Amino acid sequence: MELQKRSGVSLPKILATWLLLLAASAGPAECIRENPNFSAQDEGGGGGGAAEEFRYSAASCRTHTASLADFGGVGDGVTSNTAAFGDAVAHLSQFASDGGGMLFVPAGRWLTGPFNLTSSFTLFLHRDAVILATQNVNEWPVIDPLPSYGRGRDHPGGRYSSLIGGSNLTDVIITGDNGTIDGQGATWWSKFHGNKLKYTRGYLIELMHSDQIFIMNLTLLNSPAWNIHPVYSSNIVISGITILAPVHSPNTDGINPDSCSNVRIEDCYIVSGDDCVAIKSGWDEYGIAYGMPSQHILVRRLVCVSPTSAVIALGSEMSGGIRDVRAEDITAVNSESGVRIKTAIGRGAYVRDVFVRRMTLDTMKWVFWMTGNYKSHPDDKYDPNAIPVVDGISYSDVTAVNVTMAARLEGIPGAPFTGVCISNITVALRKARKLPWYCTDVEGVSSGVTPAACASLADQGTDNGGGGLCPFPTDPAPMEDVQLQECAYVKTS
Ligand SMILES: *[C@@H]1O[C@H](CO)[C@@H](O)[C@H](O)[C@H]1NC(C)=O
Ligand SMILES: *[C@@H]1O[C@H](CO)[C@@H](O)[C@H](O)[C@H]1NC(C)=O
Ligand SMILES: *[C@@H]1O[C@H](CO)[C@@H](O)[C@H](O)[C@H]1NC(C)=O
Ligand SMILES: *[C@@H]1O[C@H](CO)[C@@H](O)[C@H](O)[C@H]1NC(C)=O
Ligand SMILES: *[C@@H]1O[C@H](CO)[C@@H](O)[C@H](O)[C@H]1NC(C)=O
Ligand SMILES: *[C@@H]1O[C@H](CO)[C@@H](O)[C@H](O)[C@H]1NC(C)=O
Ligand SMILES: *[C@@H]1O[C@H](CO)[C@@H](O)[C@H](O)[C@H]1NC(C)=O
């Protein structure tokens, strides 16, 4: 049967090459400075006095280090540190081919406008460090729209840059001992609601055209819009991130891989005013022309609260294609839907090979939601013949309680969503309904589903309790072979 023979996905050669390079590079011993007096003094660090050591694990340690304080930074929550961040990154960028650079952000409240990172670089936040985004709109540069979107999402034309950005980089680590990046988004949200912005809001972290990205052990608060946006990038690990935004803040999506390959998102806790994770790949004719898919993406051990949106969304911008997405061990309390696929005529491309298993859900409108007529287009130039294909969607081992309706699955008339496989799902409805599953233009199979799925998902019987009907790939997860090293930074105060 067709669903069973979906082939696995092999890690691209680029990753294997990179791992070889990693193995050949500095080992842990070289990363840890045993001399407690070491402090990047050659780079202007510290002024002597008591040393404090910070240990952390990361895919690579760095040979050159500096503290934001060495560049005139003042962590009083009032003084602008835009120039300090810019100077520090510029200084450390010279070491990209000499062991890399690490910028330490000490305890304190570091107000700043947007700044960019560099290659072979680590940004490390002390546990009591808070990077505070400036609320002065004039400090946010306006940059070009993403080519795969053709315009900003909120407004036609350019868009505000992201707080922490970077383009065409290799080997970037943003980590810390759960330090904080606070977007202070409230002013942006009220301007957005009041229609007072000329350009699309910036994101908290956006890395473009980059390879080997690690974002770990941080708390992100109150982003103006999306929180983490890797775009046109590959080989990405996002782990141990707490993202908090008011549940009614506009478009504060958690993590949005966009035209990215080989992405692992794990152990994250997200409270959001929009989707907790949204996988995207460009918008209508712009995304089709750019043609860069999102693929080989794993989301696991995610805890999500998103009352107005999905736990995991695919689309609605998916015009470069989305394929090989896996999600497992997902917990959500109070979300609009568990997994949502959204697309529209004009999007073109495809969403295929999506595998979700082991979700535990409490309080939602729809456990599964598919929408073939999502109404939002960049302009009216989209191609009415660009019909998206949705095929090979497997959901299994899900329990959900306090649910309004089990599923709302709406394909495209004349272009049904196919290969939908649903097994071992138990949904406890808040109130009994005549039609707990609503399906139009979808085709597939089901087994062990309570309450029973719609007739267009032909029941295969429950001889095996519904287990095993729907496939889940067994080949390695993206970036599974990345070894973390023990790094240390010694700061003298
Ligand atoms: C560290 O610095 C102190 C004072 O400057 C000095 O006495 C001590 O020998 C140094 N220790 C090492 C291991 O270099
Ligand atoms: C992140 O935090 C966890 C739990 O505190 C810890 O086990 C892990 O080593 C940390 N990761 C990094 C990259 O520091
Ligand atoms: C960051 O890089 C982007 C893309 O290269 C550029 O447009 C932007 O102006 C840079 N931002 C800053 C603050 O330098
Ligand atoms: C960044 O990479 C993209 C894609 O490879 C390329 O089109 C662009 O010219 C590069 N930009 C710079 C500044 O190198
Ligand atoms: C990180 O900080 C956030 C916000 O204070 C907290 O909710 C979370 O539990 C912390 N994570 C860890 C691993 O300590
Ligand atoms: C069905 O799913 C539940 C979790 O929701 C799991 O505990 C159970 O093992 C699954 N049954 C089979 C037969 O796979
Ligand atoms: C069930 O869902 C309703 C509506 O979403 C909510 O108001 C209620 O608090 C939930 N009940 C429980 C026990 O969580």
For 316, phi then psi, to 5°, come to -75, -20
Residue 483 has a CB neighbour count (10 Å cut-off) of 10
pLDDT of residue 123: 98
Measured between alpha carbons, how far is 176 from 84 in angstroms, rounded to an integer? 19
* Atom in ligand 6 nearest the alpha carbon of residue 468: 14
Query: Which two structure tokens, joined as six digits, stand for 363?
Result: 């309080």
- Between the CA atoms of 421, 425, 428 and 431, what dihedral angle is there, to the nearest 10 degrees? 20
Query: What residue spans define the domains of the chain?
Result: 2-19+58-482
Q: What is the model's pLDDT at position 30?
A: 36
Residue 20 token pair: 């070889």
Please provide the DSSP assignment of 391-425 as one string.
EEEEEEEEEEEEEEEEEEEE-BTTB-EEEEEEEEE
Distance CA 56, CA 28 (A): 11
Q: How far is the CA of 37 from the centre of ligand 1 (A)?
A: 6
Give the list of residues 6+ apart from residue 65 with CB closer than 8 angstroms, or none: 39, 40, 43, 45, 101, 102, 103, 104, 489
pLDDT digits (tens, 9 = 90+) for 279-292: 999 999 999 999 99
Closest CA to 207 of 247, 148, 258: 258
* Range 479-492 average pLDDT: 89
The pLDDT-based confidence of 491 (bands split at 50, 70, 90) is confident
Predicted confidence at residue 47, as pLDDT, reads 41
For residue 460, what pLDDT band results from cuts at 50, 70 and 90? very high
Element (H, E) at 290: helix 284-290
Which residues make beta-bridge pairs with 126?
none
User: Distance (Å, rounded) from C-alpha 261 to C-alpha 23?
Assistant: 22
Give me the mean pLDDT over the 191-211 stretch.
97
Mutate-to-test residue for ligand 7 from 337, 362, 364, 402, highest number of ligand atoms within 8 A of CB: 402
pLDDT given at position 461: 87
Query: Residue 359, Cα to own-chain centre: how many angstroms?
Result: 19
Q: Which of ligand 1's atoms lies nearest the C-alpha of 35? A: 13
Residue nearest to atom 5 of ligand 3 (CA): 167
Question: Nearest residue CA, atom 9 of ligand 2?
Answer: 57
CA distances from 268 to 11, 179, 312, 337 (A): 23, 15, 13, 18
Q: What pTM was estimated for this model as a whole?
A: 0.89
Cβ–Cβ under 8 Å, residues 259 and 236: no
Q: 448-460: string of b/e by CB count within 10 Å (b at 16+)?
A: bbeeebbebbebb
**Cross-strand bridge partners of residue 116:** 165
CA distance 406 to 398: 11
Residue 13, pLDDT > 80, answer no
Per-residue pLDDT of 258-280, as tens digits, reads 999 999 999 999 999 999 999 99
Q: Where are the beta strands (DSSP E) in 245-388?
A: 261-271, 277-279, 294-314, 322-342, 350-371
**Cis before residue 316, ω within 30 degrees of 0?**
yes
Instruction: Please tell me the residue having the least CA distance from ligand 7 atom 4.
Output: 363
Residue in the structure block whose two tokens are 């023979």: 5
How remote is the CA of residue 402 from the centroid of ligand 7, in Å?
6
Site to probe by mutation for ligand 5, drawn from 222, 242, 244 as the one with most ligand atoms within 8 Å of Cβ, is: 242
Ligand 2 proximity of 219 Cβ (cutoff 6 Å): no
- Structurally, what CATH architecture does the domain formed by 2-19+58-482 represent? 3 Solenoid (2.160)
Active site annotation includes 274: yes
**Cα gap 262→459, rounded to integer Å:** 34
Binned at pLDDT 50, 70 and 90, residue 362 comes out as very high
**Residue-level pLDDT at 44:** 37
Compute the distance from residue 59 Cα to the ligand 3 centre, in Å. 25
User: Over 90: is that where the pLDDT of 26 sits?
Assistant: no
Interatomic CA distance for residues 162 and 106, integer angstroms: 22
pLDDT of 48 strictly over 60? no
Q: Which residue(s) pair with 356 in the sheet?
A: 327, 395
- pLDDT at position 468 is 79
Q: Which residues, including other chains, have CB under 8 Å from residue 16's CB and lie 6 or more apart?
A: none
Q: Does 369 or 477 have the greater pLDDT score?
A: 369
Q: Is the sign of the CA dihedral 335, 341, 347, 353 positive or negative? A: positive
Q: Is the dihedral of CA 226, 255, 174, 301 positive or negative?
A: positive
Which ligand 3 atom is the nearest neighbour of the CA of 114?
A: 13
Model pLDDT, residue 17: 36
**Is the pLDDT higher at 40 or at 381?**
381
